Amino acid sequence: MTVTLNDLLAENLNIFCWCNKCSHNKVIKTEQIIKKLGPNYPVPLVGRHLKCKKCNNTRDITTRPNWPTHGGQITRHTT
């Protein structure tokens, strides 16, 4: 099952973007991307529409939900 932008909005999560070329990373607000791509857009494909501000890379950007990392106690279904 693919995670869509709407899923992130429901979970109150933003999108973590990572440039594989220069390791530049950024968190983008889910609402902002939904305005552009619509709520049913798959999160892993969002990177195709992004451009790295540091190295101008457009082809190799990874996007994933910005899971909270603090605390380390996350209970969540991952399947």
The letter for the amino acid at 64 is R
- Supply the minimum distance, in Å, between the C-beta of residue 50 and Zn ion: 10
CB atoms within 10 A of CB 60: 13
Nearer of residues 2 and 58 to Zn ion, judged by Cβ: 58
Compare residues 32 and 58 and give the one whose CB is closer to Zn ion. 58
Pick the closer one to Zn ion by CB: 7 or 64: 64
- In whole angstroms, how close is the CB of 21 to Zn ion at the nearest point? 5
In the complex, what is the shortest distance from the CB of residue 28 to Zn ion, in angstroms, rounded to a whole number?
Answer: 15
**Residues whose CB falls within 8 Å of the CB of residue 18, separated by 6 or more in sequence, listed in order:** 24, 25, 61, 62, 63, 64
Site of interaction with Zn ion (CB under 5 A):
19, 21-22, 24, 52, 54-55, 57
Q: Please say whether the beta carbons of 4 and 40 come within 8 A.
A: yes
